[in-house]
Structure 1
Amino acid sequence: MRRITRLSSCSALALALAGGPAFADLTAEQVWDGLESAMQGFGYSVAATETATSSGLDVTDVVLRIVAPEENSTVEVTMESIALVERGDGSVSMTFPATVPITIDAAPEGEEAVNMALTYTNDGLEVVVSGDPGNMTYAYNANQLAISLAELTVDGTAIGREEARFDFVMDDVTGTTITATAQGTQITQNVQAAAASYDMAFNDPETDEAGLVSGGMSALFVSSAANLPEGFDPNDPQSLAAGGFSATGAMGYDNGEMQFAATDSAGTSSGTTQSGTVRLEFAMDGSALRYDVAATDQAFSLSGPEVPLPINVSMAESAFKMTAPISRSDAPQDMALGLTLRGFEMSDLLWNVFDPGAALPRDPATIALDLTGQVTPFVNLFDPEAMARLDSTGDVPGQLNALTLNDLTIEAAGAKLGGSGSFTFDNDDLQTFGGFPRPNGEVNLTLEGANTLIDKLIAMGLLTSEDAMGARMMMSMFAVPGDSPDSLKSSLTVNEEGHVLANGMRIQ
Structure 2
Amino acid sequence: MRYDQRFSQFMICGLAAASFSVPAVSFADVTPEDVWADMSKYYEAYGYQMAGDQTRVGDTLVIDNMVLSMAFPEEEGSFSFSADKVVLTDLGDGTVSMAFPDSMPISVQVKPADEPPVDIALDYRLNDVSIIASGAPNDMLYTFEGAGIAIELTDLAINGVSIGNNVAYFLLNMDGVSGTATTVSEEGFNKLAESIVAENITYKMNFADPETGDTGAFSGSMTDTSVKLSSDMPEGVDPNDMQASLNAGMSGGILMDFASSTMIGTFTSKTEGDGTFNTSSAGGHYELSVSNKGMVIEGKAAETKTELMTADVPMPLSYSVGNSAFALKMPIVASEEEQMFNLGLTLADLEMSEMIWAMFDPQAALPRDPMTLDLGVSGYVMSELDFFDVEAMAALENTNEAPGEIRSLSLDRLRVNVLGAELTGEGGFTFDNSDMETFDGVPRPEGRIALGLTGANAVLDKLGELGFISPDDLMGARMMLGMFTIPAGDDSVTTTVEINEQGHVIANGQRIQ
Q: TM-score higher than 0.5 here?
A: yes
Match of 2:376 among 363, 370, 387: 370
1:139-190 superposed Cα distances (whole Å, 9 cap, x missing partner): 0111010011222222232233344321100001001000000122011010
Is 1:246 the equivalent of 2:277?
Answer: no
Mapping 1:342-357, distance limit 5 Å:
342-357=348-363
Secondary structure in 1 aligned to 2:15? Answer: helix
Q: CA 1:71–1:441 in 2, change beyond 3 Å: closer, same or farther?
A: farther
Is 1:75 the equivalent of 2:82?
Answer: no
Secondary structure in 2 aligned to 1:233? Answer: coil
Letter in 1 for 2:267: A
CA distance in structure 1 between the partners assigned to 2:401 and 2:339 by the alignment: 19
Letter in 1 for 2:384: F
Deviation of the 1:355 alpha carbon: 0.7
CA distance in structure 2 between the partners assigned to 1:153 and 1:287 by the alignment: 40
Is 1:287 the equivalent of 2:293?
Answer: yes
Please say if residues 290 and 323 of structure 1, whose CA atoms lie closer than 8 Å, have aligned partners that are also in contact: yes
Letter in 2 for 1:400: I
Partner in structure 1 of residue 198 of structure 2: 193
CA distance in structure 2 between the partners assigned to 1:275 and 1:101 by the alignment: 34
Partner in structure 2 of residue 274 of structure 1: 280
Match of 2:500 among 491, 495, 501: 495
Partner in structure 2 of residue 142 of structure 1: 146
Letter in 2 for 1:100: M
Is 1:103 the equivalent of 2:107?
Answer: yes
CA distance in structure 2 between the partners assigned to 1:171 and 1:157 by the alignment: 34
Partner in structure 2 of residue 425 of structure 1: 431
Is 1:5 the equivalent of 2:11?
Answer: yes
CA distance in structure 2 between the partners assigned to 1:457 and 1:49 by the alignment: 76
Deviation of the 1:203 alpha carbon: 4.2
CA distance in structure 1 between the partners assigned to 2:73 and 2:464 by the alignment: 62
TM normalised by structure 2 equals: 0.95
Please say if residues 50 and 59 of structure 1, whose CA atoms lie closer than 8 Å, have aligned partners that are also in contact: yes
Most deviating of 282-291 and 78-87: 282-291
CA distance in structure 1 between the partners assigned to 2:260 and 2:253 by the alignment: 25
Deviation of the 1:230 alpha carbon: 1.1
Q: CA 1:82–1:419 in 2, change beyond 3 Å: closer, same or farther?
A: same
1:269-317 superposed Cα distances (whole Å, 9 cap, x missing partner): 1111111111012332213112221111111111121346532111111
Most deviating of 260-269 and 328-337: 260-269
Please say if residues 226 and 258 of structure 2, whose CA atoms lie closer than 8 Å, have aligned partners that are also in contact: yes
Deviation of the 1:38 alpha carbon: 1.1
Letter in 2 for 1:78: S
Partner in structure 2 of residue 319 of structure 1: 325
1:469-490 superposed Cα distances (whole Å, 9 cap, x missing partner): 11111111111001x3000001
CA distance in structure 2 between the partners assigned to 1:378 and 1:25 by the alignment: 49
Most deviating of 202-211 and 411-420: 202-211
Most deviating of 208-217 and 412-421: 208-217
Partner in structure 2 of residue 506 of structure 1: 511
Please say if residues 28 and 57 of structure 1, whose CA atoms lie closer than 8 Å, have aligned partners that are also in contact: yes
CA distance in structure 2 between the partners assigned to 1:187 and 1:72 by the alignment: 27
Deviation of the 1:204 alpha carbon: 5.4
Secondary structure in 2 aligned to 1:488? Answer: strand
Please say if residues 256 and 274 of structure 1, whose CA atoms lie closer than 8 Å, have aligned partners that are also in contact: yes
Deviation of the 1:16 alpha carbon: 3.1
Partner in structure 2 of residue 450 of structure 1: 456
CA distance in structure 2 between the partners assigned to 1:70 and 1:354 by the alignment: 55
Please say if residues 27 and 56 of structure 1, whose CA atoms lie closer than 8 Å, have aligned partners that are also in contact: no
Q: CA 1:204–1:468 in 2, change beyond 3 Å: closer, same or farther?
A: closer
- Structure 1: stretches of 5+ with no match in the other structure: none
Q: CA 1:439–1:164 in 2, change beyond 3 Å: closer, same or farther?
A: closer
Is 1:257 the equivalent of 2:248?
Answer: no
CA distance in structure 2 between the partners assigned to 1:120 and 1:279 by the alignment: 26
Deviation of the 1:257 alpha carbon: 0.5
Letter in 2 for 1:248: G
Mapping 1:338-487, distance limit 5 Å:
338-482=344-488, 484-487=489-492
Most deviating of 448-457 and 225-234: 225-234
Q: CA 1:22–1:332 in 2, change beyond 3 Å: closer, same or farther?
A: closer
Deviation of the 1:445 alpha carbon: 0.4
Partner in structure 2 of residue 24 of structure 1: 28
CA distance in structure 1 between the partners assigned to 2:226 and 2:312 by the alignment: 38
Please say if residues 46 and 62 of structure 1, whose CA atoms lie closer than 8 Å, have aligned partners that are also in contact: yes
- Structure 2: stretches of 5+ with no match in the other structure: 1-6
TM normalised by structure 1 equals: 0.96
Partner in structure 2 of residue 299 of structure 1: 305
Most deviating of 201-210 and 42-51: 201-210
CA distance in structure 2 between the partners assigned to 1:166 and 1:283 by the alignment: 26
CA distance in structure 2 between the partners assigned to 1:444 and 1:53 by the alignment: 76
CA distance in structure 1 between the partners assigned to 2:461 and 2:292 by the alignment: 54
Match of 1:87 among 82, 87, 91: 91
Q: CA 1:204–1:288 in 2, change beyond 3 Å: closer, same or farther?
A: closer
Please say if residues 22 and 89 of structure 1, whose CA atoms lie closer than 8 Å, have aligned partners that are also in contact: no
Please say if residues 440 and 498 of structure 1, whose CA atoms lie closer than 8 Å, have aligned partners that are also in contact: yes
Secondary structure in 1 aligned to 2:322? Answer: strand
Letter in 2 for 1:331: E
CA distance in structure 1 between the partners assigned to 2:75 and 2:399 by the alignment: 26
Is 1:53 the equivalent of 2:53?
Answer: no
Over the matched positions of the two proteins, sequence identity in percent amounts to 36
Secondary structure in 2 aligned to 1:145? Answer: strand
Deviation of the 1:209 alpha carbon: 2.7
Match of 1:133 among 120, 131, 137: 137
Is 1:38 the equivalent of 2:42?
Answer: yes
Please say if residues 45 and 235 of structure 2, whose CA atoms lie closer than 8 Å, have aligned partners that are also in contact: no
Partner in structure 2 of residue 154 of structure 1: 158
